[in-house]
A = this chain, B = another copy of it.
């Protein structure tokens, strides 16, 4: 679950730095300590996109992975798809079962800019 990841990561950081207490993290993130407590214990549904991103930044966790665990997708990715829905929908469904290395290959090709 999302909460477990957050708690585990925060407690790890806390051992080396007391600025990672639940209250202090909540303070930096801009939410109530009580709410972060409930998030970490999966007592509430996952927070909103912005809150997940702020928590991820504070704890140096990957925001896309955290959002995925929350059943969400970053709005910047959504926008990319929404701008060309036919193309990207087709591509995603085509790559659904593709092995990881095939997708990485696509990234590599495109990053090399050979179009």
Residues of A within 8 A of B (CB): 62, 64-65, 67-68, 71, 73-74, 76-78, 80-96, 98-107, 110-111, 115
Residues of B within 8 A of A110 (CB): 91, 94-95, 98, 102, 106
Decide yes or no: A74 and B89 within 8 Å by CB, A68-B82, A94-B110, A110-B94 being known contacts.
yes
Q: Which 10 A-B pairs have the closest CB atoms?
A: A68-B85, A102-B115, A64-B89, A68-B82, A64-B85, A94-B110, A87-B103, A94-B107, A65-B85, A80-B96
* Chain B residues with CB under 8 A of A85: 62, 64-65, 67-68
- List 13 A–B pairs whose Cβ atoms lie within 8 Å, in order of A's numbering: A64-B85, A64-B86, A68-B85, A71-B82, A77-B92, A80-B96, A84-B100, A84-B103, A87-B107, A88-B92, A90-B107, A91-B95, A94-B106
Q: Which chain B positions have C-beta within 8 A of A88? A: 92, 95, 103
